[in-house]
Amino acid sequence: MLRMPMKELIECKHPTAWLEFEKGLIDEMELARKFFKDGRPFDLEGLKNCMRRGYYYIEGVEELLFDLKQNNYEMHAFTNYPIWYRIIEDKLKISTYLSWTFCSCAIGKRKPDPDFYLEVVRHLKVDSGDCIFIDDRLKNVEAATEVGIVGLQFKGADFLRRDLSQMGINVSTNKFPKSENQSQITKEQRP
């Protein structure tokens, strides 16, 4: 397997192919065909395997999702992901806790586009102030707040639990059943 430094990858990749893939405008075969500007071959399966290996629950997140679900909070994924979100779902079973409702590949828009946030509010038929948007990227959080959605930057499960609690969200700890899958992922992914 050949590895390419990130700087070189950025210089060699097609400027819009990945964004088009995330928005569902091209399929994975078209992505593979045009991933590099110069048309060189691209290891599509290798990238998918790398993604699969790279995904795991951040410490405390699955327990927090479990607690929120047990307290009957409605949760949705709001993500810039291509159809490969299914790889993540197959591995982590995130739909146990939330719906993959707002994936860029299905909606055709990406964060931080304000229209994507407004589409979410329209779809849910709620006031923007009744939604809480959580993201690790500050620019995405700022875009949410610009359309009236409450935004929180993710800095870790404990911080998020505290922030939600301070907002009056019931994040009381329930007995979280550790699944065999969760224990296995933790063992494989932790250093």
Provide the pLDDT confidence category of residue 58 given band limits of 50, 70 and 90. Answer: very high
Which residues lie below 8 Å from residue 155, measured CB to CB, with a gap of 6+? Answer: 136
Least confident of 14-18, 50-54, 179-183: 179-183
The reply to whether the predicted model has a pTM over 0.75 is: yes
Strands (E), the chain: 76-79, 99-103, 132-135, 150-153
Contacts of 75-80 with C-beta under 8 Å, sequence gap 24+, read 75/99, 76/100, 76/101, 76/102, 76/120, 76/124, 77/101, 77/102, 77/103, 78/102, 78/111, 78/116, 78/120, 78/133, 78/135, 79/103, 79/104, 79/111, 80/22, 80/104, 80/110, 80/111
- Is 118:102 a contact under the CB 8 Å cutoff? no
The whole-angstrom separation of Cα 46 and Cα 133 is 32
Q: What residue segments make up the domains of the chain, in order of their start? A: 7-54, 61-169
The whole-angstrom separation of Cα 49 and Cα 16 is 22
What CATH number should be reported for the domain whose range is 61-169? Answer: 3.40.50.1000
pLDDT of 62-99, one tens digit each? 999 999 999 999 999 999 999 999 999 999 999 999 99
Q: What pLDDT score was predicted for residue 187?
A: 38
